[in-house]
Amino acid sequence: MSQIKRILVAGGAGFLGSRICEELVAQGHDVICVDNFFTSQKTNVVDLLPKPNFEVIRHDIIHPLWLEVDEIYNMACPAAPGHYQFNPIKTMKTSVMGSINLLGMAKRCRAKYLYASTSEIYGDPEVHPQPETYRGSVNTLGIRACYDEGKRAGETLCMDYHRMNGVQVRIVRIFNTYGPRMHPYDGRVISNFIRQAFTGEPITIYGDGSQTRSFCYRDDLVRGILKMMASDQVGPINIGNPKEFSIRQLAELVVKLTGSKSEIIYTDLPADDPKQRQPDITLAKKHLAWEPTTQLEEGLKQTIDWFKTIDLSQYRPPTP
Ligand code: NAD
Ligand code: UDP
């Protein structure tokens, strides 16, 4: 086995962070999960708790934290619109103050630092698909800006710590990702549609459903993130699945796979909702030898199977 490292995963109890923790623990690393449990459940990491190379610290990254580590994955931030708009000022603080605290730790420990940025930094894109060179089209005044602009500032801080202090940073821009352990009430399209299909509620398409997204299965995404950390690339590098679907196509696929009797209804489109989104993954293929392998139908089946195992009443909406 390669050298054992002490690794901090901030947001390590979340949908993606918990999967990263699982992989790193399985590789034998000493993993510290730091989370304030704003949008996650302890059940996401409960299976890891008995392992001697895993520990959890309840902590909010907007406050400084003193640990000795070799690598830091900064996954901590509410990611779904309903979650990040719940307290937009806190969302911005998490991205900015949280990044400063963890980059400061990376500087002090000479640790590698991976930042989970997002396709949202492209805003409602005028360039399609989106390459990393595209600078984006974000409404700085809109209701999504707390997240988009926070992440843009997080990227800027990475580059400033890199240039000024030589911190080894890795920036990934993550596109819409789904899979087991998504929060069933996060308001994101896949969790909404599957939950609605199971409970018999109407499936809510916002707008006319012609807007598109490109959905990446969780395990493909996490494989890309681990490759990025192990690489010599600063980034940013897009990680996502380039296969694009309209929201209407997605609704029809969920109905087919669940055999649901739910009706599909059309409601208002939220403000600043991007019309299209598709990653250009040329750089990930070239520098990380990475590309997704899970088709949407297969990934949805895995996700639907996981939804069958959970008790929806155990999931609560976020609290401040
Ligand atoms: P998630 O909400 O499941 O995970 C985020 C985790 O961070 C949660 O466990 C939450 O409790 C924790 N957290 C939030 N604020 C915190 C704070 N101030 N201090 C400590 N912990 C805090 O979301 P996710 O989908 O797993 O996203 C993980 C990261 O990936 C986020 O940074 C998100 O912006 C980014 N991302 C995700 C997607 C996606 O489609 N899932 C897309 C683009 C980017
Ligand atoms: N959406 C929808 N119905 C829902 C939830 C979302 O039609 O119940 C749409 C939403 O308007 C957007 C797309 O699905 O166009 C993806 O939304 P999500 O919140 O999952 O991700 P994001 O907008 O951040 O990409």
Say if 111 falls within a structural domain.
yes
pTM exceeds 0.90, yes or no: yes
Supply the pLDDT for residue 317.
Answer: 65
* Structural domain harbouring 75: 6-177+217-239
Whether residue 117 contacts residue 61, with contact meaning beta carbons closer than 8 Å, is answered with no
Q: List the CATH number of the domain containing 232.
A: 3.40.50.720
Which ligand has the minimum distance to the alpha carbon of residue 278? 2
pLDDT tens digits in sequence order for the chain, 320 residues long: 579 999 999 999 999 999 999 999 999 999 999 999 999 989 999 999 999 999 999 999 999 999 999 999 999 999 998 899 999 999 999 999 999 999 999 999 999 999 999 999 999 889 999 999 999 999 999 999 999 999 999 999 999 999 999 999 999 999 999 999 999 998 899 999 999 999 999 999 999 999 999 999 999 999 999 999 999 999 999 999 999 999 999 999 999 999 999 999 999 999 888 899 899 999 999 999 999 999 999 999 999 999 999 988 888 766 54
Would you state the structure tokens that stand for residue 153, as one six-digit string? 């500032």
Q: How far is CA 118 from the centre of its chain?
A: 8
Would you state the structure tokens that stand for residue 101, as one six-digit string? 């605290």
Say if 39 falls within a structural domain.
yes
φ, ψ of residue 251 in degrees (nearest 5): -60, -45
Say if 292 falls within a structural domain.
no
Which ligand has the minimum distance to the alpha carbon of residue 35? 1
**Amino acid identity, residue 155?**
E
Say if 283 falls within a structural domain.
no
Q: Which of 119, 178, 213, 265 to mutate to test the pocket of ligand 2 (most atoms within 8 A of CB)?
A: 213
The bridge status of strand 212-214 relative to strand 54-58 is unpaired
Q: Is 61 in the pocket of ligand 1 (CB under 6 A)?
A: yes
Tens-digit pLDDT profile for residues 70-80: 999 999 999 99
Supply the pLDDT for residue 274.
Answer: 87
What is the number of domains present in the chain? 1
- DSSP secondary-structure letter at 295? -
Q: Is 270 in the pocket of ligand 2 (CB under 6 A)?
A: yes
Tens-digit pLDDT profile for residues 254-268: 999 999 999 999 999
Distance CA 302, CA 175 (A): 19
The ipTM (two decimal places) reads: 0.97
Tens-digit pLDDT profile for residues 281-297: 999 999 999 999 999 99
- Alpha-carbon torsion (137, 140, 143, 148), positive or negative: positive
Say if 187 falls within a structural domain.
no
Q: Is 249 in the pocket of ligand 2 (CB under 6 A)?
A: no
Could you tell me the distance, in angstroms and rounded to a whole number, from the CA of residue 263 to the centre of ligand 1? 31
User: Which protein residue's CA is at the shortest distance from atom 1 of ligand 2?
Assistant: 189
Q: How far is CA 286 from the centre of its chain?
A: 22
